[in-house]
Amino acid sequence: MRREELYVAGGAGLVGLILYWIAQRKLRMKRLIQDIPTSKAAGVCIGLSEVKGTAHSDAPLTSYLAETAVVHYSWLVQEHWRRIETYTDSKGRTQTRIVTGWTTVASGGEQIDFDLQDDSGRVRVEPAGADIEGTNIFSRTVSMGHPLYYGKGPSGGVPYSTYQRSFSETAVVNGAQLYVLGSARLREDVAAPVLTQVTTDDPYLISVRSEEQIVRGKTWGTVLCHLFGCVLAMVAGAMLDSTPVDTWMPQASTSFNSMQREAGFQDFIAANWRGLVLGGLVYFALVFAGWMWLVHNGLVRLRNRLQSAWSLVDVQLKRRHDLIPNLVTTVKTAATHEKDLHTLIAEARTAAGDARHGGDNLGEIRAHGSGLVKRLVAVREAYPDLRTNENFARLMDNLIDTEDRIALATQFSNECLTNLRNRMETFPDLLVVKLARFAPEKRGWYTAPSAAHAVPRVALSKAVPAPEPEPADPSV
């Protein structure tokens, strides 16, 4: 084997392994996107989440080139150049050629935290560290003399410039439909989740493309990478084959790079078919092993995510069981004190009327009136914001919010279970389940037990406040 053949085999094998690694990453991302159920903004739980909605910011940025309201933008200015190069060809002759290209002369960008909004509410998104796929909102090529040339570009230039500049800008426009896949954690300012980058290997993607478009792109990327990787593996195998080059290319010179091509591609295959087949089989074995590894790890993640989703439902049910009775008690107490307050006001009005008309028991009436005033002041100081209507409205809001939380958590857990069962019961993942003896998930779709998870009764009939008293006589 010549040294040149060894170099070709090593280079082809290395590039093939790089393509294999890229394909595995794309396949893992594709399966991850397919396995994670879409969460509502109001139902995002801690951990890896997938959310779809529109970008919203009350104070959006203004993009540099298009001057559009955005939450993220990046821009680029490139300048075209052309020069004449002198080189020596393979025969030792001096030649000239024209070389052209584009050089980046300026770039920049900015981004801010924003909210992702859907029909259930909003969730905060911190885009720092995310892989952001924006929309191309500006693209223009101009010559010197155009206002854009120096207006948005630098004052300097590049050597051998043709005085043409290309301006381009991509952005996430405020109000654009987004797909976000990232990890959620608790915000530091309020008890609410925020999608952000964490210190794990979980992906963080913000894209203007739909989930279907992203999955389709990952699928084609995986296929193409594996296809070219397999071809390179076969080339490496053929180069490592023990068949000498001179046996299938008699007119070849001693230099591998200067071999003549009269022998043709068919002769190459006929002489090195064992190496080609061996290289293809090795690459196929790597693909199969990598696929089994991804499938098994994906099933484990699905099972763990399902357990977490069930736990989230339990947390929400426990929250309802503990919160609602306490809220009802609070509303009852507030309504009772407000009723007492109205009673005291009526008594005070009566006492004031008696005091105005006088009588033998005037001292007793005044003493009683002073006591009522003191009691009114005490109730007012103890409960300065007695507004029964607001209390009842707040109770109803909490009841609705609690039930929505439970419904979203239950839906998420059931979708996690559906995804896990679909993976385990369909081909080809079923092969890995059988080979690895992956235990099936016996627990069915979530049904709440009775006992602590029972819906609390909200009975407020005994605490309905008394009607508002008639307005007092202004003369009192």
Please report which confidence band the pLDDT of residue 474 belongs to, taking 50, 70 and 90 as the band edges.
Answer: very low
3-state secondary structure string, the chain?
Answer: CCHHHHHHHHHHHHHHHHHHHHHHHHHHHHHHHHHCCEECHHHCCCEEEEEEEEEECCCCEECCCCCCEEEEEEEEEEEEEEEEEEEECCCCCEEEEEEEEEEEEEEEEEECCEEEEECCEEEEECCCCCEEECEEEEEEEEEECEHHHHHCCCCCCCCCEEEEEEEEEEEEECCCEEEEEEEEEECCCCCCEEEECCCCCCCCEEECCCHHHHHHHHHHHHHHHHHHHHHHHHHHHHHCCCCCHHHHCCCCCCCHHHCCCCCCHHHHHHHHHHHHHHHHHHHHHHHHHHHHHHHHHHHHHHHHHHHHHHHHHHHHHHHHHHHHHHHHHHHHHHHHHHHHHHHHHHHHHHHHHHHHHCCCCHHHHHHHHHHHHHHHHHHHHHCCCCCHHHHHHHHHHHHHHHHHHHHHHHHHHHHHHHHHHHHHHCCCHHHHHHHCCCCCCCCCCCCCCCHHHCCCCCCCHHHCCCCCCCCCCCCC
pTM: 0.70
Q: Which of 63-77, 133-147, 216-230, 326-340 has the lowest mean pLDDT?
A: 326-340
| pLDDT 10s digits, 238-279 | 887 755 545 444 444 444 444 444 455 566 667 677 888 898
Rounded mean pLDDT, 429-448: 71
| pLDDT 10s digits, 342-355 | 665 566 555 545 44
Between 397 and 58, residue with greater pLDDT: 58
* pLDDT of residue 295 exceeding 70: yes
